[in-house]
Amino acid sequence: MTRRINAPDVNLAATLECGQAFRWSGADDGWFTGVVGREVWRLRQDGDGVLWERSADRDVRPPVAAGMPLPLKRYLSLDRSLREIVATFPDEPALQAAVRRHWGLRVLRQEPWETLASFIASSTKQIVQIRQIVELLARRFGEVVGRGRPPGCPPARGDSAHPAVALYHAFPSASVIARATLPELLACKLGFRAKYLLAAARAVDTGRLDLGALRRMELGRAREELLKLAGVGDKIANCTLLFGCGQDAAFPVDVWMQRALRRVKRRRDFGPYAGWAQQYLFFDERTRRRQPLPDTGAQG
């Protein structure tokens, strides 16, 4: 069943494709398909709203006891006013231009373990490769939570190169990864990051690291907790805190942000929503490298 939620000030494509989440894929018909928690979601921009469907699966029934999916509004941060958030940004031309160009981009509220694991896998990897690693981990270790037609695949196509039915897997929990072997993780193309992911999973599984607590901690202290993990530096810690722990002021700086910040004069303080500002600058930097964009206009 397709439902609709009113969602002013949301740019679904920018939000799902700006590099903060790795399990969404878009199709030519405008629908995005992704696994959130233990459900498959399909989302589509519909003017000032979002059309959405949950897994229309009949063969495999998603477990409902543990890991209930985050509600859509919360996942997309629709319970917050983008205008109020943007109003806290500094009056910096490059940032304001990025906001105009990608108006509606929102920082997602993702599950913290999946976020941490994904960004541990991200080290010196291109986004397309990160998506591949995350997918391999889900297929190898995650439970099947749905099946359906792959995005962009015509309904009645039966040849093996374009299977008519795709399986969707939940991202595996920390306790599942903690029981994996290094060779199994290496098979997911993690390379030298495999040992970091395994150690992080064990830290979470044993309770040595309480990811849930990071949400309530002061940002600096939360970052210190994550930095105790091998393979987690400032960048990965900040990504985890921003995208997975609701720490809106966390400010990841990677090679793209270093480029973007060269165009920003005032870089001292981006305010309580620095992470949101960062994401606008990051996405703007990436898209402008691909195709020069006009300086004005909200949603092209």
Partner DNA sequence: TGCCAGGCCTGTC
Partner DNA sequence: GACAGGCATGGC
Interaction site with DNA (CB under 7 A): 18-20, 122-130, 132, 186, 189, 191-192, 229-237, 239, 252-257, 278-279, 282
Report the distance separating Cα 296 and Cα 300, nearest Å.
9
For 228, counting Cβ atoms within 10 Å of its Cβ (0-12 exposed, 13-18 middle, 19+ buried), the class is exposed
Q: In the bound complex, what is the minimum distance in angstroms from residue 246's beta carbon to DNA?
A: 16
Nearer to DNA, 74 or 189 (CB): 189
CA distances from 68 to 21, 36, 63 (A): 19, 9, 8
Q: Cβ contacts of residue 175 below 8 Å, gap of 6+?
A: 201, 204, 205
Residue whose CB is less far from DNA, 6 or 192: 192
At its nearest, how many Å lie between DNA and the CB of residue 182? 10
Question: Which residue, 116 or 170, is less far from DNA as judged by CB?
Answer: 116
Closest separation in Å from C-beta 251 to DNA: 8
* Closer by beta carbon to DNA, 43 or else 236: 236
DSSP summary character for residue 264: -
d(CA 208, CA 220): 18
Burial of 248 (0-12, 13-18, 19+ CB in 10 A): buried
Q: How far is the CB of 143 from DNA (least distance, A)?
A: 25
* 90 versus 231: smaller Cβ distance to DNA: 231
Q: Smallest gap, in angstroms, from Cβ of residue 297 to DNA?
A: 22
